[in-house]
Amino acid sequence: MLLSLSRKFIFVANVKAASTSIEAALADFAEIRVRKTEFGKHNGLTAISADYPWVRRYVPYEAFFVFGVMRDPVDHLLSLYNAHSGEDLKGSAMPTRGMPFDKFMDAWRKDNWQAEPQHWHFQDKHGRFKMSHVIDYDRVTSDFNDICVRLGFGDLRLKHLNTSPETLKRSDLTAAQIARIEREYARDYEFLRDLPRAF
């Protein structure tokens, strides 16, 4: 999560959606930088609103350009599965190495907030902040460049950091598994079809 009073922007860092790359590119422009998950890196807009209501003393809520990145739910879940298949897991995260994808869907998701619907991440229940632009992950490079120009940063290059290994691919999933994701994450797909966009 990045918040800049001087540049008037907030970056809402979604899980496994280029957040490390964007934070690396923009951290120097933000007065508030939370870049570790355990300290709130991936807090959604409601949590950010609750933690930083005082910013209105310096910048009106509506003056912030608030942006984030969202992925297709199938790709998002696959990235989570693959990210947790490594040996270097921290804390109590359950490794997914060798886990059948159906077990991942039935059990792993229930104990891991990272698999929550992504659209929740981009809503402020306090009504203070509103998303200005949500980048479709498939357009992350071009949209990020456009946002950098809009915010006056010039032409910054987005490096691809913290990528997940490709242990499991979309082609490895059955039609039934994909249909289940489309059904259970239907609200995410609705949100993706009508993303908040500033340009």
> Within a 10 A sphere around the Cβ of 12, how many other Cβ atoms?
26
Q: Which of 9-18, 151-160, 164-173 has the highest mean pLDDT?
A: 9-18
Tell me which amino acid residue 106 is. D
Q: How far apart are CA 154 and CA 27, in angstroms?
A: 15
Q: In this predicted model, what pLDDT tens digit does every residue of 64-114 receive, in sequence order?
A: 999 999 999 999 999 999 999 875 555 556 789 899 999 999 999 998 999
Return the domain boundaries, the chain. Answer: 2-193
Q: Report helix, strand or coil for 33.
A: strand
Q: What is the pTM of this model?
A: 0.93
* Size (the chain), residues: 199
Q: In this predicted model, what pLDDT tens digit does every residue of 4-57 receive, in sequence order?
A: 999 999 999 999 999 999 999 999 999 999 999 999 999 999 999 999 999 999
Q: How far apart are CA 19 and CA 5, in angstroms?
A: 20
Q: Report helix, strand or coil for 69.
A: strand
